[in-house]
């Protein structure tokens, strides 16, 4: 195990190289815009609650469903966009005005409601609704949408998602859905955009054969036998939830629970695993209390005490489904038994338990309005792996882990993607995002950084945000961050593929440095070891200097803190001569 990571010599960072800028997709369709933007047919209304009922036919791989959408107008409007992906078909749409709360048995609680049919037409994966009348701000209603069909089947979940129709080792049905990016409208009608979470939560009712269990998000409200060989399982989510996080799991499960005493009191932790895997699951899931202790220390209270914490064994690797995390890592440590950092530290914990649980804070509680800003989800969550490594193995191991992740950075396209078209940026949002956060930590200092994370989770709990809002929060957090974090830092690492090159030379007893390969005006404080001391030196795109003593003029005595994700380059003799004759002339 490496030690004293802060003393690695400057020239050791020279293996990091920047890729050529690649804009990725440069053309988008009307369908992309409808899916990824808030047009006028989405903008005037706010979802309050989803109540989704689904009955899958496990042999035919079809579903029948009914979804209630309770909404409130925030501006005048009448025409509405609802998303439901082909080949699913809408059977009928009705509406109640005003908006009572739908109950699972078909009753409604609230004011007397008038039911009326709603005319609709289809354009690809969009359903256009013409409501019976104009709505004014603060008026509400409830839509009732019946639908059916053979939904898209996942080819390589969770990356290429859809319905997952599998069987376990004993031949029992094992079914779920993975739809991040693809969208929840692959299996139920909704306003399929991250910017609108139902403030009053969601209800999920799943009807399956009596011999199976059906698991959903939140708390189990009960089961009811239908008298025809099927049972309906009803789950209730109290907190706001991303549409793609509302997910059914169907299989031959066994269940146990425990209570974790957290900073906000007792937290119900439930575990649902395939019946034959209980023994190894009980052993592997002992990591959960340790994870919760670490994350609550660094990030604040688990964000969903009302809905509980749950791990559900899934027929795919894993996903951060809120209060019902999909687990499919085969009860081994690491990422499928390997360490993404190459350091060995990642083999001391289960990647899916740690990473996907980190998303409960970043992604589920703090959610970005547009998936172009998904680095807020993935960069911070990837850094929770470093925080857990620190809690478990110490700060040296944590730094080695996050630096080890750099080998996975591609610098192919910018981390922030194009807005309004349902398009993410580079997958570098994970490893590069984590290293940006690690660098920010070392710029502002541990104490400020920890306070910042805690306050960030208090400020944005259960909120929808933009990258710009998060950047402004980080920069303006206190006097230290305002002095040390410049907006160009985020432009450099999030909006370009360029990695700053710290050019340096010792001239007449002074160390001269500047950032090349940089966005205009980049300001980046860099911690350096010069001789026997360390100092945080402000560096920008112009030549600036600091004094060094005679013993430190050798290259080996000038070292950069490896927490900084930069490249370095010592000027050659001819470049130093040119530097003296131009930029440094008369200085």
Nearest one of 324, 420, 435 to 373, comparing CA atoms: 420
The pLDDT assigned to 506 comes to 87
The pLDDT assigned to 531 comes to 72
Nearest one of 535, 566, 564 to 548, comparing CA atoms: 535
C-beta of residue 46 within 8 angstroms of C-beta of residue 195: no
The pLDDT assigned to 101 comes to 52
Q: Which residue has the higher pLDDT, 112 or 469?
A: 469
Assess whether pLDDT exceeds 70 at residue 345: yes
Please report which confidence band the pLDDT of residue 108 belongs to, taking 50, 70 and 90 as the band edges: low
Burial (CB < 10 A; 0-12, 13-18, 19+), residue 434, is: buried
- Percentage of the chain beyond pLDDT 90 is 83
Assess whether pLDDT exceeds 50 at residue 8: no
Please report which confidence band the pLDDT of residue 98 belongs to, taking 50, 70 and 90 as the band edges: low
pLDDT tens-digit readout, 22-52: 345 678 999 999 999 999 999 999 999 999 9
pLDDT tens-digit readout, 351-388: 999 999 999 999 999 999 999 999 999 999 999 999 99
The pLDDT assigned to 550 comes to 56
pLDDT tens-digit readout, 143-201: 999 999 999 999 999 999 999 999 999 999 999 999 999 999 999 999 999 999 999 99
DSSP 19-49: PPP--------HHHHHHHS--HHHHTEEEEE
DSSP 401-444: HHHHGGGG----S-SS--TTTT----GGGTHHHHHHHHHHHHHH
**Domains of the chain from N-terminus onward:** 501-581 (2.60.40)
The pLDDT assigned to 10 comes to 29
Assess whether pLDDT exceeds 70 at residue 19: no
Q: Give pTM, 2 decimals.
A: 0.92
Average pLDDT estimate for 499-512: 89
The pLDDT assigned to 145 comes to 97
pLDDT tens-digit readout, 299-321: 999 999 999 999 999 999 999 99
C-beta of residue 497 within 8 angstroms of C-beta of residue 411: yes
pLDDT tens-digit readout, 395-411: 999 999 999 999 999 99
Average pLDDT estimate for 63-76: 97
C-beta of residue 74 within 8 angstroms of C-beta of residue 136: no
pLDDT tens-digit readout, 476-488: 999 999 999 999 9
Nearest one of 395, 378, 476, 475 to 435, comparing CA atoms: 378
Please report which confidence band the pLDDT of residue 126 belongs to, taking 50, 70 and 90 as the band edges: very high
Q: Which residue has the higher pLDDT, 93 or 555?
A: 93
The pLDDT assigned to 298 comes to 98
The pLDDT assigned to 183 comes to 97
Assess whether pLDDT exceeds 80 at residue 118: yes
Lowest average pLDDT, out of 314-323, 340-349, 508-517, goes to 508-517
Residue the block writes with tokens 């998904």: 374
C-beta of residue 362 within 8 angstroms of C-beta of residue 277: no
Q: Which residue has the higher pLDDT, 98 or 64?
A: 64
CA-to-CA distance for 64 and 417, rounded, in angstroms? Answer: 35
**Average pLDDT of the chain?**
91
pLDDT tens-digit readout, 191-237: 999 999 999 999 999 999 999 999 999 999 999 999 999 999 999 99
Please report which confidence band the pLDDT of residue 529 belongs to, taking 50, 70 and 90 as the band edges: confident
Average pLDDT estimate for 322-342: 98
User: Which ranges in 251-345 belong to alpha helices (H)?
Assistant: 278-284, 287-299
Average pLDDT estimate for 231-257: 98
62-73 and 45-57 beta bridge pairing: antiparallel
CA-to-CA distance for 298 and 362, rounded, in angstroms? Answer: 13
Please report which confidence band the pLDDT of residue 12 belongs to, taking 50, 70 and 90 as the band edges: very low
């Amino acid at each position: 195990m490496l030690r004293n990571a802060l003393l690695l010599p400057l020239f050791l960072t020279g293996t990091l190289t920047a890729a050529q800028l690649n804009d990725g997709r440069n053309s988008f369709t009307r369908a992309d815009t409808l899916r990824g933007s808030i047009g006028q047919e989405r903008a005037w209304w706010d979802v309050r609650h989803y109540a989704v009922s689904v009955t899958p036919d496990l042999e035919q791989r079809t579903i029948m469903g009914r979804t209630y959408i309770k909404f409130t107008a925030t501006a005048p409007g009448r025409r509405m966009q609802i998303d439901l992906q082909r080949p699913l078909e809408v059977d009928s749409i009705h509406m109640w005005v005003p908006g009572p709360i739908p109950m699972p048995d078909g009753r409604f609680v609230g004011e007397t409601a008038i039911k009326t049919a709603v005319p609709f037409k289809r354009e690809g994966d969009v359903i256009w609704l013409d409501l019976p009348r104009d709505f004014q701000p603060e008026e509400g209603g409830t839509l009732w949408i019946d639908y059916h069909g053979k939904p898209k089947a996942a080819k390589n979940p969770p990356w290429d998602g859809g319905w997952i129709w599998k069987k376990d080792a004993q031949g029992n049905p094992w079914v779920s859905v993975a739809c991040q990016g693809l969208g929840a409208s692959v299996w139920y009608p909704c306003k399929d955009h991250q910017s609108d979470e139902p403030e009053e939560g969601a209800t999920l009712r799943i009807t399956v054969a009596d011999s199976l269990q059906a698991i959903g998000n939140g708390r189990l409200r009960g089961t009811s036998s239908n008298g025809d060989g099927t049972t309906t399982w009803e789950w209730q989510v109290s907190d706001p939830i991303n549409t793609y996080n509302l997910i059914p799991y169907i299989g031959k499960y066994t269940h146990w629970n425990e209570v974790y005493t957290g900073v906000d009191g007792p937290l119900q932790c439930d575990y649902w695993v395939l019946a034959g895997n209980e023994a190894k699951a009980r052993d592997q899931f002992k990591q959960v209390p340790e994870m919760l202790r670490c994350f609550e220390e660094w990030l604040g209270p688990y964000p969903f005490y009302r809905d509980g914490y749950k791990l559900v064994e899934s027929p795919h690797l894993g996903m951060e489904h809120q209060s019902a995390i999909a687990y499919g890592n085969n009860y081994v440590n690491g990422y499928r038994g390997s360490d993404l950092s190459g350091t060995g530290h990642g083999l001391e914990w289960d990647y899916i338990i740690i990473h996907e649980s980190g998303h409960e804070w970043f992604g589920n509680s703090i959610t970005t309005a547009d998936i172009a800003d998904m680095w807020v989800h993935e960069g911070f969550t990837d850094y929770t792996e470093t925080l857990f490594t620190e809690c478990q193995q110490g700060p040296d191991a944590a730094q080695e882990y996050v630096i080890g992740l750099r080998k996975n950075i591609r610098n192919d396209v910018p981390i922030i993607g194009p807005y309004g078209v349902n398009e993410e940026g580079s997958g570098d949002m994970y490893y590069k995002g984590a290293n940006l956060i690690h660098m920010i930590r070392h710029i502002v200092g541990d104490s400020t950084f920890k306070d910042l994370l805690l306050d960030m989770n208090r400020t944005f709990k259960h909120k929808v945000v933009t990258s710009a809002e998060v950047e402004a929060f980080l920069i303006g957090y206190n006097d230290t961050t305002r002095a040390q974090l410049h907006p160009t830092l985020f432009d450099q690492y999030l909006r370009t593929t360029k990695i700053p090159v710290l050019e340096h030379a010792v001239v007449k007893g002074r160390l001269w440095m500047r950032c090349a390969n940089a966005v205009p005006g980049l300001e980046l404080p860099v911690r350096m070891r010069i001789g026997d001391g360390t100092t945080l030196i402000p560096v920008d795109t112009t030549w600036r200097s600091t004094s060094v003593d005679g013993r430190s003029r050798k290259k080996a005595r000038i070292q950069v803190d490896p927490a900084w994700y930069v490249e370095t380059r010592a000027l050659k003799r001819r470049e130093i001569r040119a530097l003296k004759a131009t930029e440094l002339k008369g200085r």
